């Protein structure tokens, strides 16, 4: 079951909705903008452009989401991540590819999106919101810690230097 089947308000008049087939470039462009911004800060965390097939698969699975009528953010929420988290039976949502356009940066949208995912986790009976982030990006790690996530592990089997984080639900509240 996808986290979201139709658009719903995130806050005010801003909607969050599933990305639809044919909107791959909207998602890819937001991710590429974030990757370029990170690269400009000397952080080579993401590829310059994610593979189109990976975004197509997330859209087909109902995992890729867009925020705003003229999208200003994207994120993916899955029900499992066996590659990094294994076959853990604890019900969780797995957050990835959270990117906010620079034109919408600095207004707390990323934190609101994390809070929205946490609220959905509680609503759907999930025990955790989990994510994987770059182990060598201390600013991003602090960001997620401020958003209520706890460091769980640095898996040695990951394809890139990774730190795993989770946020318990409830309370799923930021620090």
- Is 151 within the bounds of a domain? no
- Is 16 within the bounds of a domain? yes
- Is 48 within the bounds of a domain? yes
Query: Contact at 8 Å (CB) between 2 and 62?
Result: yes
- The angle formed by the CA atoms of residues 70, 55 and 51, to the nearest 5 degrees, is 115
- Is 168 within the bounds of a domain? no
- Is 65 within the bounds of a domain? yes
Of 72, 133, 151, 137, nearest to 108 (Cα)?
72
Query: Contact at 8 Å (CB) between 130 and 94?
Result: yes
- Is 109 within the bounds of a domain? yes
For 48, the enclosing helix (H) or strand (E) is none
Give the structural domain span for 114: 8-131
- Is 66 within the bounds of a domain? yes
Domain of 120: which CATH number? 3.40.630.30
Structure tokens at 54: 């990976």
Domain count, the chain: 1
Q: What is the pLDDT along the chain (175 residues), one digit of tens a residue?
A: 789 999 999 877 789 999 999 999 999 999 999 999 999 998 888 999 999 999 999 999 999 999 999 999 999 999 999 989 988 778 999 999 999 999 999 999 999 999 999 999 999 999 999 999 999 999 999 999 999 999 999 998 888 899 999 999 876 545 4
The residues near 77 (Cβ < 8 Å, ≥ 6 apart) are 3, 4, 63, 65, 93, 94, 95, 96, 117, 120
What does the alpha-carbon distance between residue 160 and residue 53 come to, in Å, rounded to a whole number? 20
- Is 141 within the bounds of a domain? no
Structure tokens at 65: 């989401």
The residues near 36 (Cβ < 8 Å, ≥ 6 apart) are 48
């Amino acid at each position: 079951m996808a986290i979201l089947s139709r658009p719903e308000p995130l806050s005010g008049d801003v909607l969050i909705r599933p990305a639809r087939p044919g909107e791959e470039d909207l998602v890819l462009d937001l991710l590429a903008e974030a990757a370029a911004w990170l690269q400009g800060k000397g952080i080579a965390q993401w590829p310059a452009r994610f593979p189109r097939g990976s975004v197509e698969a997330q859209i087909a699975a109902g995992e890729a989401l867009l925020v705003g009528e003229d999208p200003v953010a994207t994120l993916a929420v899955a029900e499992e991540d066996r590659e990094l988290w294994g076959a853990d039976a604890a019900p969780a949502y797995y957050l990835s590819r959270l990117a906010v356009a620079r034109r919408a940066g600095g207004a707390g949208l990323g934190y609101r999106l994390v809070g929205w995912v946490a609220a959905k986790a509680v609503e759907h009976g999930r025990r955790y919101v989990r994510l994987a982030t770059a182990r060598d990006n201390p600013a991003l790690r602090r960001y997620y810690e401020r958003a209520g996530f706890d460091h769980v592990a640095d898996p040695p089997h990951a394809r890139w230097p990774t730190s795993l984080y989770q946020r318990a639900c409830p309370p799923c509240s930021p620090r």
